Amino acid sequence: MSDTALLIMTRYPEKGKVKTRLARGIGDEATLQVYQAFLIDLALRFKETTSDLYWVYTPAMPGFHAALAELIAPVHLPGSSFPQQGADLGERLLEAFRTIHAQGYRAAVLIGSDSPHISEDTISQAMQAMEHADVVLGPSVDGGYYLIAMRQPHDVFTDIPMSTDAVLRLTVEKAQEQGLRVQLLEPLLDIDEHVDLLTLAQMLEEEPDLAPITAACLAQVKKEF
């Protein structure tokens, strides 16, 4: 058992149930293909991570891990999984940290499944930053964050209006009000809207190795853009 957990917040890929804002631009079928590609890239990238990997999933379906493993086969699905708990996103994020802390981990790094190009180096930077910061945040270009890391399950989530351009700013303020030390990583694109996917597609045309499965998928579904 590692002393650090890497958590990936994940929705089971079902047509019409994932990335609904993105689907308004490219349709449900193309969105499902793109999201599955995101998950495969993340599974490949972190299959040998030195942290203990957990897929923190919704909906709370029985046999999630086996079902997702079958869906992305022949790629091996690394790690373990447990369901998200809570009435809203902020509560689900906090409960994920609480669950891991209760299992005895010294620290946790949590990411979404919206940045298939996130690097192992970024995760390492977050772990290093926790040596002298209570809350580490990876800012996304839309005003939110793609990563949050903590050594304790501090509540920096309650009453934060998620999916707005004020999320990062308000989270930093909430942490500082509690006397917590905050460190920011480099900004990174996460994919919520059609325009984000266009930016990612251009990025992966230039550097497909950042997320090779997603790059191949986008090349195939590009007519939907």
CA distance 22 to 33: 12
pLDDT at 224 over 80: no
Segment 61-68 long-range contacts (CB within 8 Å, at least 24 positions apart)? 61/12, 64/12, 67/12, 68/10, 68/12, 68/13, 68/39
Helix (H, G, I), strand (E, B) or coil at 84: coil
Segment 124-131 long-range contacts (CB within 8 Å, at least 24 positions apart)? 125/185, 126/185, 127/4, 127/51, 129/183, 129/185
Q: Provide the CA 180 distance to its chain's centre, in angstroms.
A: 23
Report residue 1's pLDDT band, with 50, 70 and 90 as the boundaries.
confident
pLDDT at 92: 97
Report residue 222's pLDDT band, with 50, 70 and 90 as the boundaries.
confident
Burial group, residue 105, by CB count within 10 angstroms (0-12, 13-18, 19+): buried
Report residue 223's pLDDT band, with 50, 70 and 90 as the boundaries.
confident
CA atoms within 13 A on the CB side of 80: 6
pLDDT at 225: 73
Report residue 203's pLDDT band, with 50, 70 and 90 as the boundaries.
very high
**Average pLDDT score over the chain:** 96
For domain 4-224, say whether CATH 3.90.550.10 is its number: yes
pLDDT at 120 over 90: yes
CA distance 84 to 59: 8
Report residue 147's pLDDT band, with 50, 70 and 90 as the boundaries.
very high
- What's the whole-model pTM score? 0.96
Per-residue pLDDT tens digits for 161-185: 998 999 999 999 999 999 999 999 9
Per-residue pLDDT tens digits for 10-56: 999 999 999 999 999 999 999 999 999 999 999 999 999 999 999 99
pLDDT at 211 over 90: yes
